[in-house]
Amino acid sequence: MLTRLSIRNIVLIEALDLDFGRGLGVLTGETGAGKSILLDALGLVLGDRAETALVRAGEAKASVTASFEFSELPPAVAEALDDADIELEPGEPLIIRRQVKADAGSKAFINDQPASVALLRELRPALVELHGQHDDRGLVNPRGHRALLDRYAGTGLAGLARHWAQWAKAEAQLSEARSDVEQAKADQDLLIAHLAELTALEPQAGEEVRLAATRTDMQKAEKLSGELEELRHVWEGSDSPLASLRVAARKLDRIAGEHPMLTEALAALDRAVIEAGEAEEKLESAAEALVHDPQALDQAETRLFELRALARKHRCEVDQLPDLIREMRAKLDAIEGGEAQLDALEAAAKEAREAYVKAAEKAHDLRIKAARKLDKAVAAELAPLKLDAARFLTSIAALPEDKWGAHGMDGCEFLIATNPGADFAPLAKIASGGELSRFILALKVALAEKGGAATIIFDEIDRGVGGAVASAIGERLARLAADEGQLLAVTHSPQVAARGAQHYLIAKASSGTVTKTSVALLDEAGRQEEIARMLSGAEITSEARAQADRLLEGV
């Protein structure tokens, strides 16, 4: 709840520190005293636009600080702070500070840590619920009506949300499978053509390296064979150098015995013939080894080029072609088995949908029963609030399937008709400012809502009413404050003011050209005097004081 509001240099307020407690707090004062300034200041720390006109004349900047304390931090607040990396120790108050400069610009802080205005707006629904003349949030906004009715009905949406998630997952899987099969079917002819081309070639892992090595060896042999052919005259034919060397050796053998030097020459020549013979054998062996089939070379080169061309076509490496064949076969198999898989997924999605619809229909039945009960409860509150001619209706409408969700299949909106025979319409479109606030009060009392904002503010809910109606409003505000913990009411009604657990007087005073607004927490005597003023006007009479005493004693 809101425990403290500190204001510095906001319009007519120079410096103000207000402490708030539980229960009903009332704020009174003459018209124009500055009650709206307090609401504007509070709105500033809750993310309202920072208008430079809020800064007090002659000052460079203004600031507002609001402190909130909780027995347990609301989950929405905890989650928002965690997302913003703002730490709050258990039991530590939440302190929001907003500064506005006279030359434009503003800063926001949460427990002295910089914060965005967007974060302040995110925190607002859990901190303060404001109902006033231009209320466009809270109970007026139909976006929250279904959640309010569900809390009232105790619908319990956890199971429904689980069924929705399971159905959504099943539908997503079915959609993905259908897309895959459709895409595969569209590619089927191309897949078959590609697979036939690849299968005909039958690429093998590591084949490119082997073919490249074979081609290199054959090209080298072809070159060496040509060079050996040029050397063949050395050892082949009767006029080859080797044949001549052997003839010379035979001739020398016939005369070698005639002289020792000839014998030595013959021995050297014999050695030369032996070495040359060995060389001849080596050359012949090499020639035989280098013999190759030109057709085999052509075949190796052709296959290597075909493999590389296919790899380029499919944008992969040659060694990846066997894997590509397996992938294509798997895709074709998936097309063939896809229909069976789709049948299974369709059955699962249908089953999940039926489970969701069953849970949603159960939630619908609970909402219908709760709506009838709520309509009666609100109707019982309208007459005492001088809205006896009005009618209230909780409208529950079936949503189109594309609008279904974790919340179910229903749309929900609170409608009213202010005159007999008039059509029902949304709250904000029919009710006047005062009527709207009273409708909201009646609805909140009927709902006995829990888990809403920590602080509820009603701005002039008693506008245009008095007597028994004002007394009824005061009684219901006090009852609602006891249920909710903290409720603040800006009021002109003495009957409402008398119900307050705390009473704040807002006053405006002028000194020369300077006008200031002040707020004071009244004691019992002060409350009697202020309520007497509200009863009598400018001059407070003894009868007014006596009537004020009766009002205070009667609560």
Taking the C-alpha atoms of residue 234 and residue 27, their distance in angstroms, rounded to an integer, is 128
Tell me, what's the pLDDT at 187? 77
pLDDT at 28 over 70: yes
**Strand locations in 216-360, DSSP E?**
none
Task: Calculate what percentage of the chain has a pLDDT beyond 90.
Answer: 29
Higher-scoring residue by pLDDT: 415, 445:
415
Residues 102-154: tens digit of each pLDDT: 888 899 999 999 999 999 999 998 898 887 655 545 577 788 889 889 888 88
- What is the rounded average pLDDT of the residues 183-188? 76
Q: Are 139 and 458 in contact (CB under 8 A)?
A: no
Mean pLDDT of all residues belonging to the chain: 84
Write out the two tokens for 210.
């082997």
Quick one: pLDDT band at residue 189, thresholds 50, 70, 90? confident
- By mean pLDDT, which of 60-69, 215-224, 504-513 is the weakest? 215-224
Tell me, what's the pLDDT at 440? 81
Residues 464-486: tens digit of each pLDDT: 777 888 888 888 888 888 866 78
Long-range contacts of 479-485 (CB under 8 A, 24+ apart): 479/445, 480/441, 480/444, 480/445, 480/456, 481/22, 481/23, 481/24, 481/456, 482/23, 483/448, 483/450, 484/449, 484/452, 484/456, 485/1, 485/22, 485/23, 485/454
Tell me, what's the pLDDT at 512? 66
If you search the block for the tokens 């001088």, which residue do you land on? 386
pLDDT at 450 over 60: no
- Widest CA span in the chain: 177
Quick one: pLDDT band at residue 288, thresholds 50, 70, 90? low
- What is the rounded average pLDDT of the residues 512-516? 70
**3-state class percentages of the chain: helix first, strand second, coil last, to nearest 5:** 60, 20, 25
If you search the block for the tokens 């904002």, which residue do you land on? 453
| H-helix or E-strand spanning residue 506 | strand 502-511
- What is the rounded average pLDDT of the residues 27-56? 87
Tell me, what's the pLDDT at 122? 92
- What is the rounded average pLDDT of the residues 190-205? 86
- Cβ atoms within 10 Å, residue 373: 14
Taking the C-alpha atoms of residue 315 and residue 128, their distance in angstroms, rounded to an integer, is 63
| Alpha carbon distances (Å) from 173 to 128, 330, 348 | 43, 20, 10
- What is the rounded average pLDDT of the residues 369-375? 94
Which of 114-118, 256-260, 266-270, 274-278 has the highest average model confidence (pLDDT)? 114-118
